[in-house]
A and B are shown apart, each in its own frame.
Chain A
């Protein structure tokens, strides 16, 4: 019944405490009939803790700053899916009947770090013993996926750049996105190389940011707003941490398991999804996600990009927010920020009319940790009349 987010980007004057507090304030403001923060019964905070300045108990740090003690605070860490798993922890607490109003937050402070330190922290969530010691970060791992995907399915290199072009175009319209500018296909193809075939424009930026959602039981939500957004299904999964220990490098089992469970719980299928926010940390990840989420058959995901099916005007808009690629990817914030985007869209409150999704249908969010060591999928529905 409430959701808030700081703009993602480079915030030299804001730390995790200030960003969390700002996102909480934004979320409280979104509650139509207002909510007293003292009514929040528990907080679930997702963050990797980049930089290492508060690896232990970051939840207590930020909750204390925002005046929330003495409620219980949980810190959840699943790399880039920390926010998604914090969300599910809050959801299951509500469903258990223990609480009827909880806070879920995701946050990450990344721009305080030097380039070398940022790369170190971006790599700590992969398999350290074997993958990392081959000289790989996640860019390298997704490059291995992209290379094999192109070979197996005949996808041209340009398709990857078309993902970046699409998401930059969407991000340009999102006032809370980090990279608010459209890019041409020529520019996207000509970026400095990172890990062949991926270049800089295939990679999400390094961003600061926080997002907060307020979750309530249906009864409680209806007392606080006339326009709640309903979570109809959710699922999560895991896989071997190391990519080389998996059967496939072009499909993520954790995503498939999460999606299957979410669809089953909601009693729907991929065809019922009207728009989606998917985890596009690298351009290839969005194409793989189309297949793992059932939007396309294995090997056919790239054709959705070529057909324009997932643009803002397409039949299944994906990453209207700009996605991780253009909105930014403050690791722990991402899974919660996706819920923030869906909350606004399903209430008809996207910040600009040109980025508001058409009415009707369900929304899906997809959040993965690293290269799919963990994954979360959620399916949302708007309130009456949506």
Chain B
């Protein structure tokens, strides 16, 4: 039993998961990620233009998930690696995203360190491997 994100639902968000596609508000010009119906900054519903994020950002806050704190679909990952790191990353264009940090150890990390997006395996559901963004130290 794990978080249920059907293949069609996942497919609708591959632009975000593989390429960090955001949207630029036609009202205030700021970049939203993930896409929303109203701008998260100014509330405008006047529409958006596609915006490609750079994948660069800084650690805003982070934690290390122990096996006891992992949801069931990540239990195997936690068991294999002992723990994994999750951070909120503030992207260079403004929005924040939550993602795992890879290829680093907890003691390497501090708030403000620069990170870069990578595509990695997220989990498996319905027999389909799901890929998406994670981050590594820049």
Contacts and interface: CB of A to CB of B under 8 A. Distances in A.
Contact of A136 (B9, B68, B71, B95): B71
A133 B3 contact: yes
B77 A148 contact: no
A140 B67 CA distance: 11
A157 interface: no
B98 A136 contact: yes
A116 B100 contact: no
Nearest to A200: B68
Nearest to A144: B61
B75 interface: yes
A194 interface: yes
A137 interface: yes
B29 interface: no
Contact of B65 (A133, A148, A195): A195
Nearest to A122: B71
A352 interface: no
Interface string A54-67: 00000000000000
Given A144-B88, A244-B97, A192 B63 contact: no
Given A136-B65, A137-B69, A242-B98, A144 B123 contact: no
A123 B71 CA distance: 7
B74 interface: yes
Residue of A140, A145, A249 most packed against chain B (CB within 10 A): A140
B93 interface: no
A198 B63 CA distance: 9
Contacts of B34: 129-130
B80 interface: no
A139 interface: yes
Contacts, number: 119
A157 to B, nearest CB: 13
B102 to A, nearest CB: 11
B99 interface: yes
State the majority secondary structure of interface residues on B. Answer: mixed
B122 A192 contact: no
Contacts of B77: 135
Interface residues of B, number: 43
B62 A134 contact: no
A133 B72 contact: no
Given A120-B2, A245-B96, A249-B88, A135 B65 contact: yes
A134 B99 contact: yes
Contact of A140 (B2, B5, B65): B65
B18 interface: no
Interface string A119-153: 11001100011111111110110011101100100
Interface string B1-35: 11111000100010000000000000000000010
Contact of A133 (B60, B96, B123): B123
Interface string A242-275: 1111000100000000000000000000000000
Contacts of A195: 63-66, 69
Contacts of A123: 3, 71
A359 interface: no
Interface string B29-51: 00000101000100000000000
A132 B63 contact: no
Contacts of A72: none
A128 to B, nearest CB: 5
Nearest to A148: B61
Contacts of B1: 116-117, 120
A70 interface: no
Interface string A322-339: 000000000000000000
A284 to B, nearest CB: 11
Interface string B96-130: 11111000001000010000000000110000001
Given A129-B9, A136-B86, A240 B40 contact: yes
10 contacts: A120-B2, A120-B3, A129-B9, A135-B71, A135-B100, A143-B63, A144-B86, A198-B69, A242-B98, A245-B40
Interface of B: 1-5, 9, 13, 34, 36, 40, 60-66, 68-72, 74-75, 77-78, 83-84, 86-88, 95-100, 106, 111, 122-123, 130, 132
Interface of A: 116-117, 119-120, 123-124, 128-137, 139-140, 143-145, 147-148, 151, 192-198, 200, 240, 242-245, 249
Q: Which 5 A-B pairs have the closest CB atoms?
A: A143-B63, A148-B61, A194-B69, A195-B69, A116-B72
Given A135-B84, A147-B111, A198-B69, 14 more contacts: A116-B72, A120-B2, A132-B3, A133-B122, A133-B123, A135-B77, A143-B69, A144-B87, A144-B98, A193-B64, A193-B68, A193-B69, A195-B69, A245-B96
